[in-house]
Structure 1
Amino acid sequence: MARLVRWQALLAVLGILAVGGLLAQLSLTRQAVVLPVRGGSYVEGIVGTVQTLNPLLASNDAERAIVRLLFEGLSRLEPDGSVTPALAERWEVSPAGTVYTCTLRSGVRWHDGAPLTSADILYTVALVRSPDFPDPNGLAELWKRVEVEALDDRRVRFVLERPYAPFLSYTTLAILPSHLLRDVEPAALLQSDFNRHPVGTGPFRVAGMQEGSKGLSVLDLEANPYFYGRLPYLETVRFRFYPSEEELVEALLGQEVDGAFGLSSVALSRAGSRSDLVLYRTYVQACTILFLNTQSPLLADRRVRQAISYGLDLPALLNELGEPVFPANGPISPISWAYKTDLPPLQHDVDAASRLLEESGWHDQNGDGVRDRDVRSLELTLLTRDIPPERQVVARRIKEQLAMLGIAVRVVIEEDPTVFRERLEARDYDLLLYGWGQLGRDPDGFALWHSSQAGPGGFNVSGFQNAEADRLLEEGRTVLDRDERTRAYWEFQELFQREVPAIPLYYPEFVYLVSSRVRGIELTPLNDLGDRFRTIAFWYIKTQKVILGRSRPIEPYRPGEQP
Structure 2
Amino acid sequence: MSSDRTRLAGGTALLVAGLALAQAAFAQRTDIVVGMGLEPPHLDPTTAAAAAIDEVVYANLFEGLTRFAPDGSIQPALAESWDISEDGTVYTFRLHEGVTFHDGSTLDAQDVKFSLDRARSEDSTNAQKGLFAGIEDVTVVDPLTVQITLDQPDGGFLFSMAWGDAVIVAEETADAAKTAPVGTGPFRFENWVQGDRIELVKYPDYWGDPVALDRAVFKFISDSTAAFAAMMAGDVDTFPIFPAPENLAQFEADPRFRVIVGSTEGETILSTNNKQPPFDDPKVRQALAHAIDRQAVIDGAMFGYGTPIGTHFAPHHPAYLDLKATSAHDPDKARALLAEAGYADGFTTTLKLPPPSYARRGGEIIAAQLREVGIETEITNVEWAQWLEQVFRGKDFGLTIVSHTEPMDIGIYANPDYYFQYDNPDFQSLMDALRAEADPEARTALLQQAQTIIAEDFVNGYLFQLAKSGVADARIEGLWENAPTQANDLTGVRWTE
TM-score by length of 2: 0.72
Residue matched to 2:241: 262
Residue matched to 2:489: 533
Residue matched to 1:552: none
Q: 1:119 to 1:292 in 2, by over 3 A?
A: closer
Q: 1:356 to 1:44 in 2, by over 3 A?
A: closer
Query: In structure 1, the residue corresponding to 2:269 is in which secondary structure?
Result: strand
Measure, in 2, the Cα distance between the counterparts of 1:94 and 1:132: 30
Residue matched to 1:489: 447
TM superposition shift of 1:223:
7.0
Is the 2:202–2:215 Cα contact (8 Å) retained in structure 1?
Answer: yes
Q: How does 1:126-165 map to 2 (within 5 A)?
A: 126=117, 128=119, 137-138=126-127, 143=132, 146-165=136-155
| Alignment deviations for residues 113-146 of structure 1 (CA, whole Å, 9 cap, x no partner) | 876432332343355567898x5x5466655865
Query: In structure 2, the residue corresponding to 1:537 is in which secondary structure?
Result: coil
TM superposition shift of 1:58:
8.3
Residue matched to 2:93: 102
Listed as ranges, the gaps of 5+ residues in structure 1 are 1-37, 363-370, 543-563
Measure, in 1, the Cα distance between the counterparts of 2:447 and 2:234: 48
TM superposition shift of 1:330:
1.5
Is the 2:263–2:466 Cα contact (8 Å) retained in structure 1?
Answer: yes
Q: 1:408 to 1:523 in 2, by over 3 A?
A: same
TM superposition shift of 1:510:
4.5
Measure, in 1, the Cα distance between the counterparts of 2:465 and 2:232: 29
Residue matched to 1:319: 299
Residue matched to 1:23: none
Is the counterpart of residue 205 in structure 1 residue 191 in structure 2?
Answer: no
Q: 1:154 to 1:242 in 2, by over 3 A?
A: closer
Q: 1:382 to 1:334 in 2, by over 3 A?
A: farther
Residue matched to 1:25: none
Residue matched to 1:238: 216
Measure, in 1, the Cα distance between the counterparts of 2:204 and 2:219: 23
Measure, in 2, the Cα distance between the counterparts of 1:82 and 1:66: 21
Measure, in 2, the Cα distance between the counterparts of 1:226 and 1:423: 36
Is the 1:304–1:357 Cα contact (8 Å) retained in structure 2?
Answer: no
% of aligned pairs identical? 20
TM superposition shift of 1:327:
2.7
| Alignment deviations for residues 2-52 of structure 1 (CA, whole Å, 9 cap, x no partner) | xxxxxxxxxxxxxxxxxxxxxxxxxxxxxxxxxxxx954242144687897
TM superposition shift of 1:276:
0.6
| Alignment deviations for residues 78-130 of structure 1 (CA, whole Å, 9 cap, x no partner) | 57765332222333334554432212245655568876432332343355567
Q: 1:478 to 1:58 in 2, by over 3 A?
A: closer
Listed as ranges, the gaps of 5+ residues in structure 2 are 1-26
Moved more, 98-107 or 269-278: 269-278
| Alignment deviations for residues 183-214 of structure 1 (CA, whole Å, 9 cap, x no partner) | x6x656668xxx27x452x3x334x95x6875
Residue matched to 2:32: 43
| Alignment deviations for residues 330-375 of structure 1 (CA, whole Å, 9 cap, x no partner) | 22122335323x555567464xx746976xxx6xxxxxxxx74597
Q: How does 1:163-178 map to 2 (within 5 A)?
A: 163-172=153-162, 173-176=166-169, 178=170
Residue matched to 1:219: 199
Measure, in 2, the Cα distance between the counterparts of 1:253 and 1:281: 19
Residue matched to 1:35: none
Measure, in 2, the Cα distance between the counterparts of 1:152 and 1:423: 39
| Alignment deviations for residues 365-410 of structure 1 (CA, whole Å, 9 cap, x no partner) | xxxxxx7459752524443213236545544544544565xx3102
Measure, in 2, the Cα distance between the counterparts of 1:538 and 1:98: 37
Is the counterpart of residue 413 in structure 1 residue 382 in structure 2?
Answer: no
Letter in 2 for 1:262: I
Measure, in 2, the Cα distance between the counterparts of 1:495 and 1:80: 28
Q: 1:252 to 1:374 in 2, by over 3 A?
A: closer
Letter in 2 for 1:412: E
Letter in 2 for 1:74: L
Residue matched to 2:9: none
Give RMSD over aligned pairs. Answer: 4.6
TM superposition shift of 1:168:
2.9
Measure, in 1, the Cα distance between the counterparts of 2:66 and 2:42: 23
| Alignment deviations for residues 240-262 of structure 1 (CA, whole Å, 9 cap, x no partner) | 64677577655544435432343
Is the 1:314–1:346 Cα contact (8 Å) retained in structure 2?
Answer: no
Measure, in 1, the Cα distance between the counterparts of 2:74 and 2:65: 10
Query: In structure 2, the residue corresponding to 1:69 is in which secondary structure?
Result: coil
Is the 1:396–1:411 Cα contact (8 Å) retained in structure 2?
Answer: no
TM superposition shift of 1:148:
1.4
Q: 1:313 to 1:69 in 2, by over 3 A?
A: same
Q: 1:53 to 1:500 in 2, by over 3 A?
A: closer
Q: Alignment length, in residue pairs?
A: 457
Is the counterpart of residue 501 in structure 1 residue 459 in structure 2?
Answer: yes
Is the 1:392–1:413 Cα contact (8 Å) retained in structure 2?
Answer: no
Q: Which has the larger radius of gyration?
A: 1
Residue matched to 1:385: 352
TM superposition shift of 1:225:
6.3
Q: 1:240 to 1:148 in 2, by over 3 A?
A: closer
Residue matched to 1:75: 66
Measure, in 2, the Cα distance between the counterparts of 1:76 and 1:63: 16
Residue matched to 1:119: 110
TM-score by length of 1: 0.65
Measure, in 2, the Cα distance between the counterparts of 1:52 and 1:237: 20
Letter in 2 for 1:70: L
Measure, in 2, the Cα distance between the counterparts of 1:343 and 1:283: 19
Letter in 2 for 1:385: K
Q: How does 1:213-362 map to 2 (within 5 A)?
A: 214=194, 219=199, 221-222=201-202, 224=204, 226-229=206-209, 231-232=210-211, 234-239=212-217, 241=219, 252-265=231-244, 268=247, 272=251, 275-291=255-271, 308-321=288-301, 324-340=305-321, 343=323, 348=328, 350=330, 354=332
Letter in 1 for 2:167: A
Query: In structure 2, the residue corresponding to 1:377 is in which secondary structure?
Result: coil
TM superposition shift of 1:481:
2.5
TM superposition shift of 1:480:
2.6
Q: 1:311 to 1:93 in 2, by over 3 A?
A: same
